[in-house]
Structure formats: structure tokens, C-alpha cells
């Protein structure tokens, strides 16, 4: 643990990830636009930075966890950004879920200053960020991946090097398509069961051990029939990822029908003011179309 670690972006995902690093004994300097989150981490043993550049100047490896591509570009490349404070040989790890092309752009800009960069988006939402069980998908140089592995072992339960720069975010987009399609399919299944007069929780219990069973079903099914849409991963963030998947598909001239459908479903939910709900709230879209409300009551 001789390397000094920085962390920028202490939101719903970043804060528990940073806490796990502090608890693991790392020398951690943190920065966030909201001072409340910084103060909370300082109480846990972290040090406070005054800007992204300041954090990078005090760290050998800096992690950022921000909402989208423009945020990553601003934090790394912008005024008082990480690249201003980073020294040659430092490593920047972007664990945000952004466009693969933006990851490659940031990587190239960092390399001009002899600063190493990898993209390492995660899957698992807030619950797995808290427990340290995130799945981490990495794009970059194998030597940088090896250097980051001890941190990944604290933050997640698995970390896979998927290829060169941008490959981590390509993999994350693939993950989000699969997760979104599973949630939408599960929502339709439970609406069907409810309309047919069968308790949706009973259907869930009956099928979860078969081929239809999945981590998505286990996590999101109970939220649906218990009508608990407290966000572990918000619809608006999943919508952002699906938009990035659609952009990437367009660049590759790929027709992705399920992705296009998910984009429209999530666009409607965000437009209805439901973007702050957990993505299990895709159920709401199916319910509105069908006039059926799912509940185990």
C-alpha cells in the first residue's frame, strides 16, 4: 500500500467505493463538488483535496467516478483537472460509464503527458459498491491493469481486462443492454402473471431456479412486486448508458433492435419524471401500457 491514492467523485457509487479503500488502509485523498461527502470521508480517515488537480498532485493513482462523458472530460482534461496535477508515470483510472470513444480520447491526451490511463467501469449498483462486490470491466495496458489490481480487489469481486483503451466501456455498454433487456422482460412477465390472476411473487419463486433465473431477476423481482423503487441504480443513469450504446452502434453501423426499444422505454420514463427511480421501475412503463399494477399484496 505504498502508493498514494486519490478519488474524485463521491456520489451514490463513488462514496462507498472510496470508503472501502480507506477501510482497507489506503492513504486516500478525495475531492467532490459537494463538501458534505468529502467531510464524511475525512471522518473515516481520508484527506481532503481542494480540486481535482490537487488530488492528482498528491496521488500516484487517481480514481474518478462521475456520471457521463462530459464529466470525465472536464475532471481529467479541464481547468484544475487531474491532468494538470498528475506527474509522469502516474495512473488515472476512470471508473465512470462513458462513451468508449471518449475514453480513448482521454487516454491519448494523458499519454501525451506520459500519464497512464485505463477505463474501468463497474456493474452492481449501490449495494455492490457498498459491499465491495462490483464487477469491473477494464480497457488499457496490461501493466496498468496489474498495477490497479490491488485496488480492484478492494472495490470489486471481479476485474477483467477486456482489451485496449475503451474496451472496458464497450463491455459496460454490452452489460447494460443485457441488464435492461432482462428487467424489461421480467416486468412484462410479472404483468402477465398479475393479469392472469397468479401472484407475481409465486411466479418469481417458481422460475428463479430455472433457466430464466439470473442475478438481475433475484435483485429486481422483489423490488417490483414489493413496489420498492428506491434507487440502487437510477433509470436516468441507465438511460444515459443506453444512449451511449446507441451512439456507439450508430458509429459501427449496427442495427440493435432491443437497444433501440430500451432507449424509447427509458426516454418515456425520464419524461414522466420517473428517472430518479431504480431501474426496476421499468415496470412502470409496462404497467402504464397494460393498465395492470403488479403487487404481492
| Residues marked as catalytic | 172
Distance CA 19, CA 32 (A): 14
Nearest to 136 by CA among 99, 175, 104: 175
Beta strands in the chain (DSSP E): 5-8, 28-31, 47-48, 61-64, 91-94, 116-119, 122-123, 134-139, 156-163
If you compute the radius of gyration of the chain from its CA atoms, what whole number of angstroms results?
A: 20
Beta pairing, strands 5-8 & 28-31 = parallel
Q: What stretch of H or E contains 206?
A: helix 200-207
222 dihedral zone (left: phi>0; alpha: psi -120 to 50; beta): alpha
Q: How far apart are CA 197 and CA 284, in angstroms?
A: 19
Long-range contacts of 261-267 (CB under 8 A, 24+ apart): 261/184, 262/177, 262/180, 262/181, 262/184, 263/239, 265/184, 266/180, 266/235, 266/238, 266/239, 266/242, 267/239
> Alpha helix locations (H) across 47-166?
52-57, 69-77, 82-85, 100-112, 125-131, 142-155
C-alpha distance across the termini of the chain, in Å: 51
| Residues forming beta bridges with residue 102, ordered by sequence position | none
Amino acid at each position: 500500500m505504498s502508493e498514494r491514492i486519490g478519488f474524485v467523485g463521491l456520489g451514490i457509487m463513488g462514496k462507498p467505493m472510496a470508503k472501502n479503500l480507506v477501510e482497507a488502509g489506503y492513504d486516500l485523498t478525495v475531492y467532490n463538488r459537494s463538501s458534505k461527502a468529502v467531510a464524511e470521508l475525512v471522518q473515516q480517515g481520508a484527506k481532503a483535496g481542494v480540486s481535482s488537480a490537487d488530488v492528482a498532485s498528491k496521488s500516484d493513482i487517481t480514481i474518478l467516478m462521475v456520471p457521463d462523458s462530459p464529466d470525465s472530460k472536464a475532471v481529467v482534461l479541464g481547468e484544475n483537472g487531474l491532468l494538470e496535477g498528475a506527474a509522469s508515470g502516474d495512473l488515472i483510472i476512470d471508473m465512470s460509464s462513458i462513451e468508449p470513444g471518449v475514453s480513448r480520447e482521454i487516454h491519448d491526451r494523458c499519454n501525451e503527458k506520459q500519464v497512464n490511463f485505463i477505463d474501468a467501469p463497474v456493474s452492481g449498483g449501490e449495494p455492490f459498491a457498498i459491499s465491495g462486490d462490483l464487477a469491473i470491466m477494464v480497457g488499457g495496458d496490461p501493466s496498468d491493469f496489474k498495477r490497479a489490481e490491488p485496488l480492484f480487489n478492494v472495490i470489486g469481486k471481479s476485474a477483467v481486462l477486456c482489451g485496449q483503451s475503451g474496451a472496458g466501456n464497450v463491455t459496460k455498454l454490452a452489460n447494460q443492454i443485457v441488464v435492461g433487456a432482462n428487467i424489461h422482460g421480467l416486468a412484462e412477465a410479472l404483468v402477465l402473471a398479475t393479469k392472469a390472476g397468479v401472484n407475481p411473487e409465486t411466479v418469481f419463486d417458481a422460475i428463479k431456479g430455472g433457466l430464466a433465473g439470473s442475478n438481475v431477476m433475484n435483485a429486481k423481482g422483489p423490488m417490483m412486486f414489493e413496489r420498492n423503487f428506491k434507487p440502487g441504480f437510477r433509470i436516468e443513469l441507465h438511460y444515459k448508458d443506453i444512449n451511449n450504446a446507441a451512439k456507439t452502434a450508430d458509429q459501427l453501423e449496427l442495427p440493435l433492435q432491443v437497444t433501440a426499444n430500451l432507449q424509447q422505454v427509458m426516454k418515456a420514463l425520464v419524461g414522466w419524471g420517473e428517472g430518479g427511480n431504480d431501474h426496476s421501475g421499468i415496470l412502470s412503463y409496462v404497467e402504464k401500457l397494460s393498465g395492470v399494477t403488479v403487487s404481492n399484496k
